[in-house]
Chains A and B, each alone.
Chain A
Amino acid sequence: MNFWLELVIKTVLVLFLVVLPVALVVIFGELKISAHIQSRIGPYFAGGRFGWAQPLADGAKFIQKEDLIPAGADSSVFRFAPYVVLMGTFATFVVIPFGPDLAAEKLDVGIFFLLAVSSLSTLGVLMAGWSSANKYSLIGGLRAAAQLIAYELPLVLAAVAVVIQAGTLSLSGIVEAQANMEIFGLGIHLPYVLTGQILSFIIFTIAALAELSRIPFDMPIAESELTMGYLTEYSGLRFTMFFLGEYAAMISLAAVASTLFLGGYYLPGLDTDALKVAGPFILLGKTLILCFVFIWMRWSWPRLREDQLQSLAWKWLIPLALANIVVISIFKVVL
């Protein structure tokens, strides 16, 4: 079959089989987990006692809302912005390996492609903030631009450390390297987070939270100050796309973190055939654990101010990430 057609079909499959259901699960998880952290119950009625249909109900509600475009908005940019954000997010799922041969497209420059494409979302956020003809949105968009660009660097540098240790840019290759990684000849295969990449893991997670604009880094949205920041003027289906895009990005970054640091689809003790079946679920499990940590942090902590956020990135994370790279390289050469 034509290469491009095959790719499109595989991508669409990944999106509908993996991203959408998992996004709904994560949304539901956020509602319930946040409720229990706040000693509430959470969704209760939609779909029976556990309220599992709440995300679906919310989705249906949003879809049938009026589609408002402010009179002074730059309407073509306004309309296009959510799609740009989504494109950046969905494209990352092309290279994530769900099993030994189960990636939509096994690219040799996997992680490079992923990080490059995921920064398209920044453009979408800027477009949304600018075109809304609303001062709050503009401020939100500016904050988002500064924040997302600032935190790209620690994200990339942390990934570089992993690449150095694994010796390959391909995501499947990184998982293989963790599968083959032996520590002190003991015959135990440990994920990278435990074999020298703990600092990279921490930096990556913090930068991922900032890329997602989640508390403690949600200055661009900053609900109590800017009433939703760059999202203020969006309603109905467009808002749903941003909303879905945020959770898809969370899953994407959590999956990437699991792949880079936690071993991806690999679990010690399983051979390749078992991994072909169980791999996706293992990766899913690790992703959901990370998502739980993200949700937990969001509801426990306040938000950092813009200048504190920036100084965290430029004065702390980037130097640390660079130092980390140096250390990892030395170990790679020496050991």
Chain B
Amino acid sequence: MTDVDARAAMHLSDASVSVELETQGMTLNIGPQHPSTHGVLRLVAKVEGERVTSVQPVIGYMHRGYEKLSEVRTYAQITALVNRIDWVSGFANEIPWIRAVEKLMEIEVPERAQWIRLILSEMTRISSHLLFMSSYPLELGAATPLMYALREREYVMDLIESVTGGRFHPNFNRVGGVKPVAGGGSTQKKVSQDLPAGFFQGTREAMDRVDSVMDELDELVTGNEMIRARTIGVGVIPPEKAIEFGLSGPNARASGVDFDLRRDGEPYLPYDQVDFDVITEQTGDSFARYLVRKEEIRQAVRIVRQAIDTIKPGPLQAKVPRVLKVPKGQAYVRTENPKGEMGFYLISEGGRIPYRVKIRSASFCNLSILPWVLEGALVPDLVAIMGSLDFVLGDVDR
């Protein structure tokens, strides 16, 4: 994962005596343990004074080999694996995988299950973006928005937990719908996994809270002169570059690429039955990326409110065979995850386990633009730009 240069950098940073300032510049090793690299990411940066001349990200510290593991797991087991890819938005990772399997099996998902998936997806989006709202100002030095955003996020996480049983790894999707019952072996009673009592009321309250904390954060962060000075004009990514590198989600929309898979892609959930705006900005700098995510939280709240008014009773899972055998075929399904476009390319040879699963993770492509965008940036801007791209190492390393 490194080259001679990077290894030399490693030695230089360990060096005891040779701290002399080379006039050609210094090689600085940022990470893998660092307060602001969103996980185990290592950047080998060549700096001259305060200016970065080149950056090589070194990734793979969290590579768990999901694609190889998928070749020895059944489809249900892979569902449990998959929500660990982007662990901040656990539920959202399961959707493209389950949809790919359902596509090959040509299963129709019942309405109620689709709506539950939609509600949970949007709550996951709120939760992921709130985490961004808390960690990004912290990297710029403001310590307080962290607490406010995380406090409200707890309410959303509690709701997700009340439905699925897990905060980060819900493992709630099943082929053909969502988990219908729990228990029900020879010794256990069957318990329906439908939405628990008090869920709608709790959701309405939580959405009100999220709205009010967004107002607070707007005052505290968005209007703050210093935040603006640190992020406006910093890390500008033009739309052509964004498309060329495969940037997706809020990062691309902040550069003016008006494309949202919920509205413009292949339909995977009933987003056509809810009203929401797709937020784009034109400047493509870090502030624009921050603004897009901030407004997306409000739109997600809007969607959830409409969804809980639209959902009707019904079955939670379609009829599927007990032992899942997916017919031979290849399918690709992509969804709008909080981090961007996530996709699963599934090659099935008609057995109980897939033949090949290719995981297209959003943060991998979002991160690949880092060497290009960081060239010539200042060292403090490095942190501001990395934070604004909002990647998660689990997503990058799979």
The answer to whether A and B assemble together is yes
Let me know if B36 and A224 touch, CB within 8 A: yes
A218 cross-chain contacts in B, Cβ below 8 A? 141
Q: Are A305 and B138 in contact (CB under 8 A)?
A: no
Give A126-153 as 1s and 0s: 1 = Cβ < 8 Å from B's Cβ atoms: 0000100111101100000000000000
Contact A307-B378, Cβ < 8 Å, known A38-B146, A302-B140: yes
A-facing mask of B144-159, CB < 8 A → 1, else 0? 1011100100000000
User: Whole-angstrom distance between the alpha carbons of A218 and B140 in the complex?
Assistant: 11
C-alpha spacing A261/B21, complex, angstroms: 43
B151–A305 CB distance below 8 A: no
The closest CB in chain A to the CB of B27 belongs to A135
When C-beta atoms are compared, the residue in chain B nearest to A35 turns out to be B147
The size class of the interface chain A forms with chain B is 20 to 34
Residue in chain B with minimal CB distance to A223? B35
* CB < 8 Å neighbour of A133 from B17, B144, B148: B17
Q: For the complex formed, measure the closest distance between the CB of A219 and the CB atoms of chain B, giving whole angstroms.
A: 7
Complex contact B13–A305 (CB within 8 A): no
Would you list which residues of chain A between 1 and 46 have a CB under 8 Å from chain B?
Answer: 34, 37-40
Please determine whether B139 and A38 come into contact, CB atoms closer than 8 angstroms.
no
The reply on A184 being an interface residue by CB < 8 A is: no
Chain B residues lying within 8 Å of A308, measured Cβ to Cβ, are 229-230
Measured CA separation A325–B154 after assembly (Å): 53
Compute the total of residue contacts between A and B using a CB distance below 8 Å: 94
B34:A38 contact, CB within 8 angstroms: no
Query: A224, B144: Cβ atoms under 8 Å?
Result: no
List the B side residues contacting A38 at CB < 8 Å: 143-144, 146-148
**CB closest chain-A residue, reference B140:** A302
For the residues of A in contact with B, the DSSP-based class is: loop
Closest residue on chain A to residue B30 by CB atoms: A225
Decide if A300 touches B144 in the complex (CB within 8 Å): yes
Residue picked from A222, A223, A302, most chain B C-beta under 10 Å: A302
A302: which of B13, B21, B147, B227 is its contact (CB, 8 Å)?
Answer: B227
In Å, the complex CA distance between A40 and B230 comes to 27
Decide: A224 and B35 in contact? CB cutoff 8 A: yes
> Beta-carbon contacts of B124-152 to A below 8 Å, as 1s and 0s?
00000000000001111111101110010
Tell me if A40 and B19 are in contact (CB < 8 A): no
- Encoded as 1 (CB less than 8 Å from any A CB) or 0, chain B from 23 to 55 comes to 000101100001110000000000000100000
By Cβ-Cβ distance, the 6 closest A-B pairs, closest first, are A72-B16, A303-B141, A302-B141, A38-B147, A302-B142, A302-B140
If A224-B140, A225-B139, A301-B141 are given as contacts, then 4 extra A-B residue pairs at C-beta distance below 8 Å, sorted by A number, are A135-B29, A225-B380, A303-B226, A305-B380
User: Chain B: residues with CB nearer than 8 A to chain A?
Assistant: 13, 15-17, 19, 21, 26, 28-29, 34-36, 50, 137-144, 146-148, 151, 220, 224, 226-227, 229-230, 378-383
20 contacts between A and B (CB under 8 A): A38-B143, A38-B147, A39-B151, A71-B16, A72-B16, A133-B17, A135-B13, A135-B28, A224-B35, A224-B138, A224-B141, A225-B379, A225-B380, A300-B144, A301-B142, A302-B137, A302-B224, A302-B227, A302-B230, A305-B378
